Amino acid sequence: MPEREDAEPIHQWVFRGLRRAIMSGRFPPGQPVTIRGLAARMGVSAMPVREALRRLVAERALALLDNRRVRVPVMTVERFDELLAARMALEPEAAVRALPSIGPERLAALRRINRHIDDAVANADGETVVVQNLLFHLTLYGARADSVLVPLIESVWLQTGPFMRAALEDLPSQGADDHHAEALAAIARGDAAALRLAIQADIQTGLGHLAQSGRFAGRLGAERAG
């Protein structure tokens, strides 16, 4: 859970923590979530958890079942393709628009995050890879404080987050290029075209790779048939 900010209402802290956990892939697809279990884990009462789950259902990060239980949504081929297309459309544009606002301090922060990712890959620490990958992207796009694209991107990440762990954990064995390093080099040069290409390649290598893997395709096909 993130640190609670000064004077932050408990319900907002719970919502923010659960939202980031879903975006970071800490809840696998199809996993049921309960108010009692989350409240016990977070050390809070049921009320703020209930409110957070209601908001997350409204954002399509969670699915409300007929029996009023809540779970992480399962995926279909069609929905996954649309989410991938949304990331490919939104994120390269957000990166390019953020580029003029990236100063030395933010570039240094992005480089530190990428080193954490490299270390996590070397240590086969999939959870850290997923968390730091999310932080890298949001730190990059968030350089433009008034960006209208970042909330849209977060909405898409909420729906793809449960699958990111499988995508990124498989990448080391695939010998993937370090597209974050390419993005960092492009930022240092102020090269918007190269930055756009690097982000496109990074998304395609991650989610695109997952969509093309036989294991994932089989799982999606089963959901479609069922």
The full DSSP string for 139-206 is HHHTTSTT-SHHHHHHHHHHHHHHHHHHHHHHHHHHT---HHHHHHHHHHHT-HHHHHHHHHHHHIII
Half-sphere exposure of 60 (CA within 13 A, CB side): 11
pLDDT in tens, 168-214: 655 544 444 689 999 999 999 999 999 999 999 999 887 766 666 54
Residue from 145, 152, 117 nearest 131 by CA: 117
Question: Element (H or E) spanning 73, and its range?
Answer: none
pLDDT band at 5 (very low <50, low <70, confident <90, very high): confident
Residue 216 and residue 121 share a domain: yes
Residue 58 and residue 162 share a domain: no
In a domain, 163, yes or no: yes
Name residue 211's beta-bridge partners.
Answer: none
Whether the predicted pLDDT of 135 surpasses 90: yes
- Measured CA to CA in angstroms, residue 19 lies from 34, 49, 161, 218 at distances of 15, 11, 10, 28
pLDDT band at 24 (very low <50, low <70, confident <90, very high): confident
Number of separate domains in the chain: 2
Whether the predicted pLDDT of 78 surpasses 50: yes
Please answer whether residues 170 and 121 qualify as being in contact, where contact means their C-beta atoms are separated by less than 8 angstroms. Answer: no
In a domain, 23, yes or no: yes
Residue from 95, 80, 92, 121 nearest 208 by CA: 80
Q: What is the CATH number of the domain that holds 175?
A: 1.20.120.530
Residue 129 and residue 18 share a domain: no
In a domain, 103, yes or no: yes
CA 4, CA 14: separation in Å to the nearest integer?
9
Q: What pTM was computed for the model?
A: 0.81
Residue 117 and residue 24 share a domain: no
pLDDT reported for residue 73: 85
Residue 186 and residue 148 share a domain: yes
Given 42, 71, 100, the domain boundary residue is 71
Residue 125 and residue 27 share a domain: no
Which tokens belong to 80?
A: 């996954």
Higher per-residue confidence, 202 vs 124: 202
Please answer whether residues 103 and 142 qualify as being in contact, where contact means their C-beta atoms are separated by less than 8 angstroms. Answer: no
Query: Which residue type, as a one-letter code, is found at position 109?
Result: A
In a domain, 117, yes or no: yes
Given 71, 87, 118, the domain boundary residue is 71
pLDDT band at 125 (very low <50, low <70, confident <90, very high): confident
Cα-to-chain-centroid distance, residue 123: 21
In a domain, 177, yes or no: yes
Please answer whether residues 170 and 213 qualify as being in contact, where contact means their C-beta atoms are separated by less than 8 angstroms. Answer: yes
In a domain, 137, yes or no: yes
Residue 170 and residue 59 share a domain: no
Averaged over 31-35, what is the pLDDT?
89
SS3 71: strand
Higher per-residue confidence, 187 vs 226: 187
In a domain, 116, yes or no: yes
Residue 199 and residue 124 share a domain: yes
CA 117, CA 132: separation in Å to the nearest integer?
6
Q: What is the CATH number of the domain that holds 26?
A: 1.10.10.10
**Structural domain range at position 59:** 10-71
Name residue 64's beta-bridge partners.
Answer: 70
In a domain, 42, yes or no: yes
Residue 67 and residue 85 share a domain: no
Please answer whether residues 15 and 55 qualify as being in contact, where contact means their C-beta atoms are separated by less than 8 angstroms. Answer: yes
Residue 173 and residue 127 share a domain: yes
Residue 81 and residue 60 share a domain: no
pLDDT reported for residue 205: 83
Residues of the chain with pLDDT > 70: what percent? 85
Residue 165 and residue 120 share a domain: yes
Which tokens belong to 150?
A: 């970042």
